[in-house]
Each structure stands twice: as structure tokens, then as C-alpha cells.
Amino acid sequence: MISMLGFSCTVLITWEAALILFLSGLLNGGPAGIIYGFIVVWIGNLSVFSTLSELVSMAPTSGGQYHWVSMLAPASSAKLLSYITGWLTIGGWQGAVASGGYFTGTLFQGLIALTKPEYNPKGWHGTLLYWAVIFFAVFINTVVSKLLPKFEGTVLFLHILGFIVILVPLVVLAPHGKASDVFSVWNNGGGWPTQGLSFFVGLIGNVFAFVGADGAFHMSEEIHNPSVVVPRSIMLSILINGTLGFAMTIALLFCIGDLETVLATKTGYPFMEVFLQATHSVAGAATMAALVTILALSATVGLLASTSRMFWSFARDRGLPGWRTLQKVDPRSKVPLWSIAVTTLIACLLALINIGSAVAFNNVVSISVSGLYTSYLICVCLLLYRRVTGGISEASAISVGLTDSPVLVNTKNTSLIWGPWHISGIIGVLNNIFSCIYLTTILFFSFWPPATPVAPETMNYSSLATGGIIIFGLAYYVVLGRHEWDGPIIEI
């Protein structure tokens, strides 16, 4: 339970992401928008993942979303719908790996700029550091893969300790702003027609701070009693990370100091300048920023692990080109080396975009939000359909696997039964409906550019990337996939 909780918390790294990404909300929404937006996103994620946890409790598999779609969707559409869901999930996770590598690599670049003011950051520097981060994640996931659970447990400790180590000097040493400047000041830096529209566009920074919460789903086949352990670890990680992230967000906004200087920082990350203004020490600010960077590096390890397991699972079910190779598991390390290799190769190729344009790169990898949120939305809508039509029944403890039974009860074309994690009655229905509304709203605004007027270099291309994945998946389905894919394969 501790290692899985550590995995869930460190993939999320919400308080660290709140520092890294707060500029997005500052542009659209302002301080008040960041605060209230965080609350909206936190509540939304609690709703979404309590709903998805019902599904992982019913069917704990590495396939996650596409398996659940296969078992929930009507027989006439289950095959194609689950296939597209699989592609969207893989696209979302691949974008998350690329984002993790980019943010961590450029955090290292920011540290150099913080300690060496004469340093002139270049795009290709960030790309090289990005590759170094990805290869470190590969090393942990392959060479020392047996130590991954202990690694995640250690990082959980560092994740919580680091929060205290950064929050205390920030709050004690930095000048404090007025409460009215934090809770009442709004900003529409994107030039949108209304402040409300600007607020919703600015939500995406907070949304990204919670991306990766489903990582534990794709590790379900590597732990004991996943029907209970995975939902508990995910919900507890969202509660812990949300609390820490909210506290850090408020502290940062109260201690932001000279805003113009903060936004003009050469580091690329305003929070580093806030640390510098608070401590009046380059060494102190660098130490605090280095801790955030180390935790971002650790999160990338977890992102690569989840993505490779998703690749492996989809290949095992014959959903990917080259599935015969990608489904192989190394007999010595018991990890899917080929899936890790492909995940790494794609991430490294995507990094080349950053050399030309960091904006273009970030827009492409923002599919981590659109891809994953689309897969979530398909799942929760189908669960709501089954819920209100009475398509899922209660079951005894033995039949849902509370005794660590290896038998997977809920599969396609079977009578569905609830797992041990279940929100029953009208509360469950209302929660399910709210999760559908929240996901639809966030998905809609995830395709919007950050500002107007829109230029080619500031356009949000995540809609193009998402559409490209769907089109490629459909094309492969028509040519080969429909002959090889028949939904998740259940091994008896």
C-alpha cells in the first residue's frame, strides 16, 4: 500500500506542479483565479477518480480505460470504442512522459540560469537535458527495476518532507502581500471578452497539476489485492496532493513579491525568482529549486513506468502495430523492455520540436490533458449509462476478489458486478453525473489558445495532435487492427 501510495503521490507531484505551472493561471485568472480554479479542479478530480476507482475496483487491469470501455459499452460498439480509447490513453500518457522530461530538463536549465546569471539558455540545451532526464527514468525502470517500489516509497517521504522544507522558509522569510491582493484580484492577460472566459482558459495549469492520477491503474497487475489497494491509494494521493498543492499555491501568491521582476526572470520559472527574493541568497534559492527539480525527476520515472505498462497492455491485446514484439516481458527483470524502448524513442523524438519552438512542443504534448480526459469521459459516461439502467449488480466479497483471487470477474460480454470500492445509491449517480460535466468542461477548454489574437506560434495544437491520434488509430484499425483486435484478451 505504501509503495503504491508513493507511486501515486510522486507521479502527481501537485504542490511541485503548482509552483512550476502557476504562470498559466496568473495570465488568465490572476491570483484569485488560481485559488478558486485550484478548488474547482481539486473537487473535479476527487469526483472523477472516485468514479474511475469504482471501475478499477471492478476490473483491475493494466489496460485501464480501454478494458472498462470494452466491458461497459453496448456489444455493437464495444470493439471500436475500446480500441479508440486505448489509442487516446496511450497518446495522453506519452504526452505526459514528454511533458515530464521537458519540465524537468528545463528546471535544470533554470537552475543553471539562477546560479550563473551570464548563462544564455538555448532550446537545444533544454532538449539535451530532457534526454538526460528520460534516460535516467529508463535506468530506474530497467537496470534497477526491482528497486522501483522502494524508490517510490523513498520519494513519497521526500515529497512530504520537501513540502515543509520549502514552505517554511518561503513563508517566514518572504514579504507578505495583502489578502485582498490574493483572493480578490483577477486578471485577463489573454485578452478574452470576459473575465469568466479567461478564468476557464486559465484552469488548464491547475488541471495539469493533477495529470497522472490514473498511473496506479496501469500498475494494477503488479500488486496484491488491487481492487482495494489501487482505489485507496489513488483517492488518498489526491487528498494529500490537493492539500499540499493548495497550501503551496496560497503561500506562493502571498509571497510573490515584485511581480514584474518575477515574470522577467531568466530562469524560465517565476517560482525560482520568488525563492530568490524570499531568501536573498542564490544558494538558498537554488537549494529549494533543486528539491523541486529532484521531485520532478522522480515523477518522470513514474510516468515512464505507467506509460510503458499501458503500451505493453495494449500490445498484449493486439491493439498496436508490432504487438508481437511490444508484448514481450524480459524474463530476468520482469519488465516490458520493448515497450519502455518505444516509449523512450517517441519521447526523445518529440523533444526535437523543442529545438525549434518550445511553444509548439508544449502545445503538442498538451495531449496529456486532452487524450487522458477524453478516455476518462468515455468511461464515466458509459458507467453512468450502466448505472441508471441497472446493468451492474452487487456481489459477495469472494466474487469481487477480496481474497486476492486472480480471476478477473468483469470482462466483455459478462454480467457486471460492483467491486469492493463502490459509491452506492443516488450519491453515486450524482457523483457520476458531476464527473461527466467536469470532464466535458475541461476537455472543451483544453483546446483553447492562451491568448488572443491567435497567431500560428501561439495556437494550441492539442486538437490537431488529438485528432491525429484518432485518425491514425482508425486508419490502422481499418487496415489491420479490425482483424487482430477483439477487445481485451482474458487469460484463464
- pLDDT, tens digit (0-9, with 9 covering 90-100), for 425-468: 999 999 999 999 999 999 999 999 888 898 877 788 888 889 99
Biggest distance spanned by C-alpha atoms of the chain: 67
Q: Between 234 and 406, whose confidence is greater?
A: 234
Confidence of residue 411 (pLDDT cuts 50, 70, 90): low
Is it the case that residue 409 has pLDDT exceeding 60?
no
Q: Between 230 and 215, whose confidence is greater?
A: 230
Is it the case that residue 3 has pLDDT exceeding 70?
no
Distance CA 314, CA 341 (A): 15
Determine the length of the chain: 492
Strand 392-393 to 416-417 pairing: parallel
Confidence of residue 1 (pLDDT cuts 50, 70, 90): low
pLDDT of residue 400: 45
- Count each helix (H run) and each strand (E run) in the chain, helices first: 20, 4
Is it the case that residue 406 has pLDDT exceeding 80?
no
Residues of 414-433 as b/e, b for ≥16 C-beta within 10 angstroms?
A: eebbbbbbbbeeeebeebbb
- pLDDT, tens digit (0-9, with 9 covering 90-100), for 302-317: 899 989 989 999 999 9
Evaluate the CA torsion angle 399, 400, 401, 407 in order and state its sign: positive
pLDDT of residue 402: 44
454 conformational bin, left if phi > 0, alpha if psi -120 to 50, beta if neither: beta
Confidence of residue 401 (pLDDT cuts 50, 70, 90): very low
- pLDDT, tens digit (0-9, with 9 covering 90-100), for 25-40: 888 999 999 999 999 9
Residue given cell 515584485 in the structure block: 258
Is it the case that residue 375 has pLDDT exceeding 90?
yes
Is 392 strand, coil or helix?
Answer: strand
pLDDT of residue 405: 41
- pLDDT, tens digit (0-9, with 9 covering 90-100), for 106-150: 999 999 999 998 999 888 999 999 999 999 999 999 988 888 777
249: its cell numbers: 499555491
